[in-house]
Structure 1
Amino acid sequence: MAIPCDCKTLNISVNNVLEPFGFECHPFLTGWYNQLVSEKFQLNYPPSTAAVVVISQPSMFEKAFLPFLQEEFDSSQIRDPIDQCMLFYFHKVKKSFSEQGIDVESLHDFQLDTRRRPRILVQTAGHVSGAVRYYKPSDVEIEQKNNNYYPVCHHPRWGGWFALRGVFIFPQIQDSTLEKIEPPQNLSAPEASSMLELYNLHWQDWRWRDIGNPESRYSEEQIKYFETPPPDRFQLIQKYLDNREL
């Protein structure tokens, strides 16, 4: 029997847990997602099943990641530190709902299934929730059309200075009343084209993230972390920890 709860209420509950740590959450239905993905990526739930997509804002690094490093980080694990951090904060949400007797499944952007395919296409989830707009090569005018370009998402507030981190699915909760929100259209056609080209051809210089005059950017500390090759990030982490102890 479905628990009498709606998708918006669930989203508020998830936000209450994660918002203080630099995250934002947006509700959607699994059927909306399944309509846009091929069969191999579809979620095996009824179309009205409630779901929530989680986005990290520019402030996540300072509000969630650095405190996590100081208090919970396990340097002996093979898993990437950011992935460890996301698992930690997602667990907070799952624990909160478990205490209410509500089942919840979490799907992370970094997780693969047994066939080495993503368990969730987070860009599509963000798009159907109305939180971001998902730009594909077929959606924009590009001088030298290249359908091998990777698609990219744009956030109405953060531009490209954000990340889609994963999805919560609530199998017990069906909600046919949630109104679908059209993804934001904040970019002009030339801006969308520029963003797609910069993302694919010059992603290393971060310019694609600034398209659309974002309200906030990553801190210099955060940019340095992501620009550092993964094997060298542990030295940087130790430096962060040493500085926070001063």
Structure 2
Amino acid sequence: MAATVLNVETAIRLLKDTISELGFEVYPLKVGWYNALLPASLRLAHPDDTLAVVVLSTPAMFEQTFLPFMEDGGFQGLTDPIDQCVKQCISAAVSRCFPGQTVEVSYDYEMLPNRKPKFLAQTAAHVSGAAFYYQQADVTDQPWAEKKMFGVCVHPRFGGWFAIRSLLVFEDVTLGPDVLQPVPPDCVPTREGRIKLLESFNHRWQDWSYRDVVPPVQTYSQRQRDYFSTLPAQRFALLKTWGFLPKEDQQSEAVSDTQGSHG
């Protein structure tokens, strides 16, 4: 594709055509929608009308993309295998689809020098309409007193069986004032349901139950569950039992602080 004028419809179509079959979903948003919810220290350094796109991985990504990536020897043994696979896929898609365009790509596991995340994945997913970000403030008459409860995103089709992987900012593409911010589907509208969701996510996330808060159209395969149930430091050993060997001996895990961290 030549470096011509790019609009939001073209950008989204090109991305979908390239990475949907790999098990990813893409959702556009305005930088201003995201920045409006955050303090200055966490905002993106771009004009409010700039196009951004949040990229999610669906349950299909593991078998359709990650395992072939491992089989083909793409893993170098230097960082988290899933992170490396996602980065390779998205970087290749951006290079192929948008030559000559300035696209800032951030991943869920990346940190700034001040140790703050490059972007808040769940906030980005919420303002794009991809998934509803349920937080403590969304529960009336909270039963937790002064205790901190971490929030969690719920996808209308996959429930909790997905991960937020990346944010793309198209520095030369703007969205007009006629583009309205979508409202993410409120999959858990009741107080009781939200209490159950947040308690399951905060206290029992290892049992996977929070992921089934809505009936999902697809869940993780048993092999994928085995992988994400394994402690990050032990995943290399698991991959070796599956026949996948890293090319290097250096095996330092980069564990995400966002919804990508547990798969």
TM-score by length of 1: 0.92
Q: CA deviation at 1:86?
A: 1.2
Deviations 1:138-160 (Å, cap 9, x if unpaired)? 10144334551111000000000
Deviations 1:121-170 (Å, cap 9, x if unpaired)? 01000000001000110101443345511110000000000001011110
Q: For residues 5 and 179 of structure 1, do their structure 2 counterparts lie closer, same or farther at Cα, with a shift above 3 Å needed? A: farther
Deviations 1:193-230 (Å, cap 9, x if unpaired)? 21111000111111000111111111110010011112
Consecutive unaligned residues of structure 1, counting only runs of 5 or more, are none
- Structure 2 CA distance, aligned partners of 1:3 and 1:31? 25
Partner SS state of residue 36, structure 1: coil
Number of residues of Structure 1 aligned to a counterpart in Structure 2: 239
Instruction: In structure 2, give the amino acid aligned to 1:57.
Output: T
- Structure 1 CA distance, aligned partners of 2:98 and 2:159? 34
* Structure 1 residues 93-242: aligned runs within 5 Å: 93-99=93-99, 101-141=100-140, 142-176=142-176, 177-189=178-190, 190-241=192-243
Instruction: In structure 2, give the amino acid aligned to 1:200.
Output: N
Deviations 1:177-205 (Å, cap 9, x if unpaired)? 43321111122312222111100011111
User: Normalized per residue, which structure has more helix?
Assistant: 1
- Structure 2 CA distance, aligned partners of 1:73 and 1:224? 21
* Structure 1 residues 14-29: aligned runs within 5 Å: 14-29=15-30
Hey, what does 1:87 align to over in structure 2? 87
Q: Is the 8 A contact 1:25 1:55 kept in 2?
A: yes
Q: CA deviation at 1:231?
A: 2.3
Deviations 1:29-82 (Å, cap 9, x if unpaired)? 1011000111111011111101110000011110111011111433431x1111
Hey, what does 1:70 align to over in structure 2? 71
Report sequence identity in percent: 36
Q: CA RMSD in A?
A: 1.7
- Structure 2 CA distance, aligned partners of 1:71 and 1:47? 41
Hey, what does 2:248 align to over in structure 1? none
Q: For residues 33 and 3 of structure 1, do their structure 2 counterparts lie closer, same or farther at Cα, with a shift above 3 Å needed? A: farther
- Structure 1 CA distance, aligned partners of 2:7 and 2:181? 14
Hey, what does 2:38 align to over in structure 1? 37
Instruction: In structure 2, give the amino acid aligned to 1:28.
Output: L
- Structure 2 CA distance, aligned partners of 1:5 and 1:175? 11
Q: For residues 123 and 240 of structure 1, do their structure 2 counterparts lie closer, same or farther at Cα, with a shift above 3 Å needed? A: same
Stretch deviating more after TM superposition (211-220 or 139-148): 139-148
Instruction: In structure 1, give the amino acid aligned to 2:194.
Output: A
Partner SS state of residue 36, structure 2: helix
Q: For residues 8 and 193 of structure 1, do their structure 2 counterparts lie closer, same or farther at Cα, with a shift above 3 Å needed? A: farther
Q: Is the 8 A contact 1:17 1:92 kept in 2?
A: no
TM-score by length of 2: 0.86
Q: For residues 145 and 58 of structure 1, do their structure 2 counterparts lie closer, same or farther at Cα, with a shift above 3 Å needed? A: farther
Consecutive unaligned residues of structure 2, counting only runs of 5 or more, are 245-263
